[in-house]
Structure 1
């Protein structure tokens, strides 16, 4: 199970990450702002997004609305201390699929997560992605330009795939690192830059110069 937790309370965030990973055997990505929650949710596929209401850089309701406006179809569970009927209505109207009031028991949170995953809200992953003349087959990890195959390493393919899914958006090196290698790895930004450089060179040899663009001091994007 792959979960995204958006919670700016450090103690609660650490506790939830520890307990959720222990109980589900899955992975929990933890962010502390509404803007990061949007970036992570749109850059990957999560079984459930756990979204605290009171977040900096866009509260939970605003973040939820932003995700739905961007056509995010994954399950969103709102976590909040606001417990009036109107608060619940506002949360659901913002696009949340469920609403859990703090403080809560971990067993109830797990039950809500299981219920949402049974409803199959997770985003569907296209088997193929098209970038002009370039086609990415996400099952076989093959890239073709017309009839020509572009041979990428697994990491190069993952980076290209991540950028393709988020075409037009600038992805930071930190986000690419987390999505591809994981924050607990020993990979440095220089490894990311080298991976992008090699993938870009292979694409250029196939006639696709400038597909992957560098954004100085930030990261990379594929121009839509």
Structure 2
């Protein structure tokens, strides 16, 4: 993979770049946020690793600007701040992962490889369809057989994730990550409760169910289940 590393501490930058190169990756290094923004939006990178505190512009502003310009490359933030609010701020700025300093290089490498294995983002769809179920992402309207379905924001997001993966099983862990942005199991029935509510709205009033429970695995949307 080709990786862009934006880190202003020379020792840290050299340490990471050497490790990534030894792991078989191509690593370009920069130390300034403005230079990093230009490279992120003009270069062809598989993963970007960016420090939050950078000269020029900070890492959060860098990623926000790059996302606004249409950059879709996965980003891992490196930071010395570890509070929950700081992690949330990084993710909301457009980051895909967050690693607190000091860190083990093996963990960074594992996270880089994991992001690099993600399928490339597809062109943005504005309307999703599964059988007679339709979701308009622009108007945030959901209908089935022409009838409007009123969904709460979390139910809408849950249905969107399922519709984008039509015919494939989505596990409980995947739903926690993609719908609730939880990377741990809260040991509650939040997923099951929302699935039940969603099923009551998109399936029960209609003749054929679309939302399937795959025993001991997860859930999927499928026509003719």
- When the two structures are superposed, what TM-score results if normalisation uses the length of structure 1? 0.53
Aligned to 1:67: 66
Aligned to 1:2: 2
Aligned to 2:15: 15
> What is the DSSP-based 3-state SS (H/G/I as helix, E as strand, rest coil) of the residue aligned with 2:28?
strand
Larger RCO: 1 or 2 (CA < 8 Å, sep 6+):
1
Larger radius of gyration: 2
> Structure 2: how far apart are the matches of 1:27 and 1:60?
21
Query: Residues 46-195 of structure 1 correspond to what in structure 2 (within 5 A)?
Result: 46-121=45-120
Q: Check the 8 A contact 1:34/1:58 in 2, yes or no.
A: yes
> What is the DSSP-based 3-state SS (H/G/I as helix, E as strand, rest coil) of the residue aligned with 2:54?
coil
> Structure 1: how far apart are the matches of 2:67 and 2:21?
26
> Structure 2: how far apart are the matches of 1:86 and 1:4?
26
Deviating beyond 2 angstroms after TM superposition, the runs of 4 or more aligned structure 1 residues are 120-124
Residues 54-80 of structure 1 deviation map (CA, whole Å, 9 limit, x = unaligned): 001110111010100101011111011
In the TM superposition, what is the alpha-carbon distance from 1:118 to its structure 2 partner? 1.4
In the TM superposition, what is the alpha-carbon distance from 1:4 to its structure 2 partner? 0.2
> Structure 2: how far apart are the matches of 1:90 and 1:67?
16
Q: How many pairs were matched up?
A: 123
Q: Check the 8 A contact 1:83/1:101 in 2, yes or no.
A: yes
In the TM superposition, what is the alpha-carbon distance from 1:123 to its structure 2 partner? 9.2
> Structure 2: how far apart are the matches of 1:45 and 1:78?
19
> Structure 2: how far apart are the matches of 1:43 and 1:62?
17
Aligned to 1:163: none
Aligned to 2:26: 27
> Structure 2: how far apart are the matches of 1:100 and 1:64?
15
Aligned to 2:156: none
Note the residue ranges of structure 1 that are not aligned, 5 or more in a row: 125-224
> What is the DSSP-based 3-state SS (H/G/I as helix, E as strand, rest coil) of the residue aligned with 1:46?
coil
> What is the DSSP-based 3-state SS (H/G/I as helix, E as strand, rest coil) of the residue aligned with 1:41?
helix
In the TM superposition, what is the alpha-carbon distance from 1:122 to its structure 2 partner? 7.1
Aligned to 2:42: 43
